[in-house]
Amino acid sequence: MNQLHALYRLQQLESAIDAAKKRADEIEAALENDETVRRCKAEFETSETELRQKEGLVQDLELDIASLVTKVTDNEQLLYSGKITNPKELQERQEEIASLGRRRTTRESELVEARLAVKEAQTQYAGTKAALETAQRAREQNNQDMLKEHQSLRRDMSGWLQDRKVILKQIDADKYKVYKKIKAQKNGLAVARLNGESCEVCRVEQYLSIISQVRQHNQLVFCHNCGRILVDI
């Protein structure tokens, strides 16, 4: 393999390594941070909190109603026991019983609404719980697939890195320095194939003198437009 072909092969290897590393990093980040599961978990926790709050309100209303019933019963027993003979006190007891009755009616109406709200919250809770469980199962399956892909990428990168070492030994230090400089300037692509009479990357047609030099395969020749190293493969 001549020097120019070796540079082109080096670029292919380094591009493959860079792409594989980027994908491996993406997989690692995805394994650590699953947005769907996090969102579903947040929605589930919110629905759980709302359900508990609504259930708590139902319990409070039931206790309040039970307390009102007890107070009414106690007042009625006292009222009809004959122990109260004062007309004013009798009237006060009757008014108290009526007031307790009105409060009970209000609380019972509120209890009906609260129980309906609990049913709605239970439906919401069940939905978010199912969504979370589905997302967690999907993550587990996806994680297995991504782990396999990650392992495959690491194996590929290991092989490409070994190939890169072999290729580097075939390239002169001066040519490699030029390659690295252009690579840094040209978004990772320092070498371009000659496609017919044009640079494959920028697609600009080359002078005949440049084409002739490229096809001799013995020196670095640059695209007169983009400045990349041209190779004839």
Of 39-43, 79-83, 141-145, where does mean pLDDT reach its minimum? 79-83
Domain extents in the chain: 23-158, 173-231
d(CA 190, CA 97): 94
Q: CB count, 10 Å around CB of 191?
A: 24
pLDDT at residue 143, rounded to an integer: 87
CB 150 within 8 A of CB 25: no
In 3D, which of 166, 163, 172, 186 has the Cα closest to residue 220?
Answer: 172
CB 212 within 8 A of CB 44: no
CB 107 within 8 A of CB 62: no
Of 72-81, 151-160, 168-177, where does mean pLDDT reach its minimum? 72-81
Q: What does pTM read for this prediction?
A: 0.59
pLDDT at residue 45, rounded to an integer: 95
Q: Which CATH architecture has domain 23-158?
A: Orthogonal Bundle (1.10)
